[in-house]
């Protein structure tokens, strides 16, 4: 235990930090929340940060990195880091980092990501390179879009051309087949220490305004000024999946890990998420991978129905990360989980 006390777990105060820091404390680590000025309160209020480092903007992370290294901080990445700094800057961040940094590039390069998931045998939505080919419902996603703002649906080339007009020229987007079904997010954890894949849980995202459009009747939608759907995340709802889907879900996770080793040394480890749509034909169509903790694990601070089956104690994904680091320290294998 004494050895663990030498290390600290640090993360940015946003996204899934409450869960990460609480999980680290439960495993015996002291914790650091790195917060934008004005965003410290939740971490104080819930008492999950033994220390708070305040920065004025995310670029200041680089100014505090020597301080963090000196404190023997291990940094846990989540979406805010990547969303606000970008892959390149994260690659240059020197604080010991949980997970494989190389994977970030693959996750954020759509072509490589697609090849990776395809080779893993997953069923993906079709991509339309040329708007002329649009022959079904499509969703147009903008790369820089923070949380699905500005995404739109289109049914053919004409419709697409009309709707793209309101977006600045040169904006990077992808035209993806729109899959009608239930979007569900699958949370996995892969341990490089015991080579085991775990199912941590599932969530459904609650997105504004698309998830509330059903509250406005079709008649009123027609009568009101134009309402376009948007996909801005505002929360997450816990869900358990139909049990007979599980064998495929486990298989999918294992194949994603196996394929990841072909694209970069040691591949993917730690938490990751497959973002899927479950269709009425019982197909699982995957439209995205997140190669890190997702905020959809936040409802499970006390563990999920799945972690309850495996562990006889509350096991959030945040705590599972800290547990992995703790085991690695004890076994003298910390290098295996840092990247
Ligand atoms: P934030 O720090 O809240 O601005 O989040 C950073 C990034 O993570 C944004 O791109 C969000 O879209 C994404 N994100 C934040 N919270 C959630 C959530 N609860 N579920 C899914 N994605 C999220
Ligand atoms: P993304 O930014 O890729 O995470 O997508 C944001 C949201 O758009 C998802 O949570 C889904 O609700 C929806 N979405 C994304 N891709 C598709 C798709 N191919 N078919 C149907 N809905 C989608």
Burial code of 204-221, b = ≥16 C-beta within 10 A, e = fewer?
Answer: bbebbebbeeeeeeeeee
Minimum-distance ligand 1 atom for the alpha carbon of 232: 12
Protein residues with CB under 6 Å of any ligand 2 atom: 125, 139, 141, 148, 176-179, 183, 205, 207, 231, 275, 277, 287-288
14: which DSSP letter? S
The residue ranges of every structural domain in the chain are 1-97, 127-177
Q: Please tell me the residue having the least CA distance from ligand 1 atom 21.
A: 295
233 C-alpha vs ligand 1 centroid, how far in Å? 7
54 C-alpha vs ligand 1 centroid, how far in Å? 20
Cα dist. 304→10, 58, 144, 183, 188 in Å? 24, 32, 32, 19, 12
Q: How confident is the model at residue 146, as a pLDDT? A: 60
Q: Please tell me the residue having the least CA distance from ligand 2 atom 7.
A: 231
- What CATH code is assigned to 127-177? 3.30.1490.20
Q: What does the alpha-carbon distance between residue 7 and residue 42 come to, in Å, rounded to a whole number?
A: 23
Per residue of the chain (339 residues), give pLDDT as tens: 558 889 999 999 999 999 999 999 999 999 999 999 999 999 999 999 999 999 999 999 999 999 999 999 999 999 998 888 888 899 999 999 999 999 988 887 888 899 999 999 999 999 999 999 999 999 999 876 566 788 999 999 999 999 999 888 888 899 999 999 999 999 999 999 999 999 999 999 999 999 999 899 989 988 888 888 889 999 999 999 999 999 999 999 999 999 999 999 999 999 999 999 999 999 999 999 999 999 999 999 999 999 999 999 999 999 999 999 999 999 999 999 999
For tokens 């390149």, the residue is 88
Contacts of 92 (CB under 8 A, 6+ apart): 62
Q: How confident is the model at residue 83, as a pLDDT? A: 86
Counting ligand 2 atoms within 8 A of each CB, the residue from 107, 182, 183, 236 with the most, and so the one to mutate, is 183
Q: How confident is the model at residue 86, as a pLDDT? A: 86
161 C-alpha vs ligand 2 centroid, how far in Å? 20
- What CATH code is assigned to 1-97? 3.40.50.20
Collapsing DSSP states into helix, strand and coil, what is residue 116?
A: helix
Which ligand has its closest atom nearest to the C-alpha of 294? 1
Question: From the centroid of its chain, how far is CA 326?
Answer: 23
């Amino acid at each position: 235990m004494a050895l663990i006390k030498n290390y600290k777990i640090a993360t940015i105060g946003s996204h899934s930090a409450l869960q990460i820091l609480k999980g680290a404390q439960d495993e015996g680590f002291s914790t650091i929340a790195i917060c934008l000025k004005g965003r410290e309160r939740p971490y104080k209020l819930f008492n999950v940060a033994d220390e708070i480092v305040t920065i004025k903007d995310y670029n200041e992370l680089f100014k505090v990195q020597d301080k963090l290294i000196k404190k023997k901080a291990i940094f846990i990445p989540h979406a805010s880091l990547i969303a606000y700094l970008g892959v390149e800057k994260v690659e240059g961040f020197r604080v010991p980092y949980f997970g494989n940094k190389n994977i970030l590039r693959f996750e954020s390069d759509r072509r490589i990501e697609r090849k990776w998931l395809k080779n893993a045998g997953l069923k993906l939505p079709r991509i339309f390179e040329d708007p002329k080919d649009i022959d079904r419902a499509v969703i147009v996603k903008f790369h820089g879009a923070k949380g699905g703002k500005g995404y739109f649906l289109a049914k053919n080339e004409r419709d697409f051309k009309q709707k793209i007009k309101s977006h600045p020229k040169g904006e990077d987007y992808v035209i993806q087949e729109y899959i009608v079904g239930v979007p569900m997010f699958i949370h996995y954890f892969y341990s490089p220490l015991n080579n085991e894949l775990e199912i941590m849980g599932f969530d459904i995202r609650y997105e504004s305004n698309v998830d509330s459009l059903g509250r406005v009747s079709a008649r009123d939608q027609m009568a009101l000024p134009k309402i376009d759907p948007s996909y801005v995340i505002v929360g997450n709802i816990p869900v358990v999946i139909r049990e007979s889907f599980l064998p495929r879900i486990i298989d999918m996770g294992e194949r994603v890990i196996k394929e990841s080793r072909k694209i970069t040394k040691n591949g993917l480890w730690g938490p990751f998420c497959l973002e899927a749509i479950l269709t009425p034909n019982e197909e699982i169509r995957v439209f995205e991978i997140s190669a890190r903790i997702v905020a959809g694990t936040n409802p499970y601070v006390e563990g999920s129905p799945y972690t309850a089956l495996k562990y006889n104690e509350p096991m959030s994904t945040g705590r599972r990360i800290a547990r992995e680091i703790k085991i690695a320290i004890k076994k003298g294998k910390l290098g295996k989980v840092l990247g």
